[in-house]
Amino acid sequence: MVDVSEKSVTSREATAESVLVTRPDVVALLSAGDLPKGDALAVARVAGIMAAKRTPDLVPLCHPLPISKVTVDLTPGEDRVVIMATVRTRGVTGVEMEALTAASVAALTLYDMVKAVDRAATIEHTRVLAKSGGKSGEWSRA
């Protein structure tokens, strides 16, 4: 692990996204909560939040951080669901990995819940969109 003992505690935030691509009829089922496994949006949201908190257990060399807030927003579109995860902390290192983990696990959870009706669904565009705080300051993909 990188030694972060001399770094300053600052407010930090990161936002990541992932996209589940499927068929329009599957998005309709998902939006209505009519998938065989139930309300996929609610389950994926909780899975993403839980995953952010478990990032150091899943990704070697990630420091455990005092996470102060996690939001996971899932927005259904015509043939996709866009997942946006934002993580905040006051700590000595950034939360990009926690945001990526939240978005990824939410997408994996959606896939698990739609695969009974669409095995061809895909997960795409998992990436960090923005980060702020720390020595490197603000960064945005846009």
CA distance 135 to 123: 32
Q: Which residues contact 100 (CB under 8 A, 6 or more apart)?
A: 16, 85, 126, 127, 128
Cβ neighbors of 72 (< 8 A, separation 6 or more) are 44, 45, 48, 49, 83, 84, 85, 102, 103, 106
Q: Which residues are catalytic?
A: 112
Question: Where would I find the beta strands (DSSP E) of the chain?
Answer: 10-21, 67-76, 80-91, 122-132, 139-140
Least Cα distance to 76 among 126, 32, 127, 116 occurs for 32
